[in-house]
Amino acid sequence: MNAPGRRHRRGALPIGVAGLAGIGVALVAVPLVAVVWRVPWSRLAAVLGDEVVVDALRLSLATSAGAAVISLVIGVPLALVVARTEIPGRSLIRAIVTLPVILPPVVGGAALLYAFGRRGIVGGPLYEATGILLPFSGWGVVLANTFIAMPFMVLTVESALRGLDPRPEAAARTLGASRWTVIRRVTLPLLRPALVAGFVLSWARALGEFGATVTFAGNLQGSTQTMPLAVFVALESDRDAALAISLLLVVLSLAILVGLRDRWLRSW
């Protein structure tokens, strides 16, 4: 006989687990609520209409979208190479391209300077040959964003590739499809959920990029000052502006996350 006791629903957890989970939620939610709480709602329109803010928003959207597109174009082939080929040093390649995920972004920015700066090993010859300077330019922001964001694309797509049923692709070969046609008409459509997820993740990561951007591209209003940088500057000068831009970033990030759900991630 079972001893009488409280009936538990399936999946019921010890109270301690729920308590710790609650602390976890609070840790993230409370600061977000604080931002919303302190936002100067009456001045919001004026603050957001400020030239500094508009410039930062425009620059952030353009550079982060650019970084996401470049991550897609380069990151997907990279994921295919890492997941599908057996070239020597494959695991080393994988480690190198995913390093920026855990590398302090400021170190990434410094590394970019040594590579693409005016006296960098690539940037020096490039400047002498063409006069093009990447640091402290909009393209520098895109480069820094891509450096930080692309690993998210590579990791997302690579993991999807490993879970992909290989037989539809084999079937396509036997039906007369060249390797390129298989990628275009079978592999990429099957990867669609991962491509969308990777794109959104890398875009969101680029949108929030701070350390590598400020180190490599600087903080020039109108050309390299993205929204996170503008928040940082405004915290020193105009707290209301900092709060308003922060709110905007929270809303944008939330919109991206919500957009990522369901519809685009649905498989067949």
Partner 1 sequence: MTPLEPGLAATFVVRRGSGFVLDATIEVPAATTVALVGPNGAGKSTALEAIAGLLPIDSGKVVLGDRVLDDPATGDWVSPEERRIGVLFQDYALFPHLSATDNVAFGLRCSGARRPAARKEAAAWLDRLGVAGVGGRKPRRLSGGEAQRVALARALATRPRLLVLDEPLAALDVTTRTRLRTLLGEHLSAFGGGRLLVTHDPADAFVLADRIAIVENGLIVQEGTVAQVRANPRSAYAADLVGVNFLVGTATVGEVAVAAGGHLTIADHAVSGPVLLTIHPRAVSLFPEPPHGSPRNTWQTNVVAIQRLDDRVRVELAPPLAISAEVTPGAVADLGLAPGTQVWAAVKATEIAVQPG
Distance CA 210, CA 228 (A): 6
In the complex, least distance from residue 145 CB atom to partner 1, rounded to whole angstroms: 31
Q: Which candidate, 253, 242, 237, places its Cα nearest to that of 39?
A: 242
Contact flag: residue 177 with partner 1 (CB under 8 A): yes
Written as one letter, the residue type at 227 is: M
For residue 116, the number of C-alpha atoms closer than 13 Å in the C-beta half-sphere is 22
Which position among 173, 184, 239, 266 is part of the footprint of partner 1 (CB under 8 A)?
173
Contact flag: residue 267 with partner 1 (CB under 8 A): yes
Distance CA 103, CA 150 (A): 13
Kindly identify the residues of this chain, within the stretch 96-125, that bind partner 1 according to CB under 8 A.
none
Contact flag: residue 175 with partner 1 (CB under 8 A): yes
Contact flag: residue 38 with partner 1 (CB under 8 A): no
Left (φ > 0), alpha (ψ -120 to 50) or beta: where does 12 sit? Answer: beta
Contact flag: residue 265 with partner 1 (CB under 8 A): no
Written as one letter, the residue type at 56 is: A
Of the candidate spans 22-30, 49-57, 189-197, 240-248, the one that interacts with partner 1 by CB under 8 A turns out to be: 189-197
Structure tokens at 97: 């391209």
The residue among 5 and 176 lying less far from partner 1, judged by its C-beta, is 176
Contact flag: residue 172 with partner 1 (CB under 8 A): yes
Residues binding partner 1 (CB under 8 A): 165, 167-168, 170-178, 181, 185-186, 189-190, 192, 267-268
